[in-house]
Amino acid sequence: MALHTKKSLVADERRRADIALARADWIERRQPFMQRKPERLVFIDETSVKTNLTRLRGRAPRGKRLQGTAPFGKWHTQTFIAALTGNALIAPWVIEGAMNGAAFDTYVETQLAPQLSPGTVVILSTISAPTIARAQQKH
């Protein structure tokens, strides 16, 4: 008989009382609400592209030079952020540079908030905590 060992790791923090309470609230109260009202859910995500990710090396046949292209001039970063509802992509926004707290505040105030209705549940994905500190405040 072959034995299989499988281990599922979970965060140590799950054992803390405050985390356990928040998790129970999420499972018992928030998730059922969101399942009953999926039209109220809006998911925000961001991604970025950096022009300095251009490959500088490659392979070519012996004796031949590999030709490539890259954007001319200064390297840039562009960030794209948008919100996704059950049936549409809303509030798309592109900025030069990386997302920071001030840029996120501007996005929420000028692009996202005008498209939301009262009772909307906004779920943030992969946006760092310092960026969203003001957004977490209840209004």
pLDDT in tens, 49-76: 887 777 778 899 999 999 888 777 777 8
Banded model confidence at residue 5, pLDDT cuts 50, 70, 90: confident
The verdict on residue 105 lying in a domain is yes
The verdict on residue 106 lying in a domain is yes
The verdict on residue 82 lying in a domain is yes
What are the helix (H) ranges across 2-137?
Answer: 17-25, 31-36, 101-107, 129-132
Instruction: Look at the chain and report how many structural domains it folds into.
Output: 1
Encoded tokens for 34: 């969101």
Q: What is the CA radius of gyration of the chain?
A: 22
The verdict on residue 62 lying in a domain is no
Domain range enclosing 85: 45-52+74-139
Give the angle subtended at the CA of 111 by the CAs of 81 and 76, to the nearest 5°.
Answer: 40
How crowded is the C-beta side of 80, counted as CA atoms within 13 Å? 7
Contact 19, 13 (CB under 8 A): yes
Report pLDDT digits (tens) over 18-30: 999 999 999 999 8
What pLDDT, on a 0 to 100 scale, did the predictor assign at position 127?
64
Banded model confidence at residue 8, pLDDT cuts 50, 70, 90: confident
How far is residue 51's CA from residue 93's CA, in Å, rounded to a whole number?
19
The verdict on residue 26 lying in a domain is no
Banded model confidence at residue 131, pLDDT cuts 50, 70, 90: low
CA-nearest of 76, 77, 112 to 93 is 112
What pLDDT, on a 0 to 100 scale, did the predictor assign at position 138?
52
Identify the burial level of 41 via C-beta atoms within 10 angstroms of its C-beta, where 0-12 means exposed, 13-18 middle and 19 or more buried: middle
The verdict on residue 21 lying in a domain is no
Report pLDDT digits (tens) over 72-124: 777 788 999 999 999 999 999 999 998 888 899 999 999 999 999 998 989 88
The verdict on residue 93 lying in a domain is yes
Terminal-to-terminal C-alpha distance of the chain: 60
User: What SS3 state is found at 5?
Assistant: coil
The verdict on residue 114 lying in a domain is yes
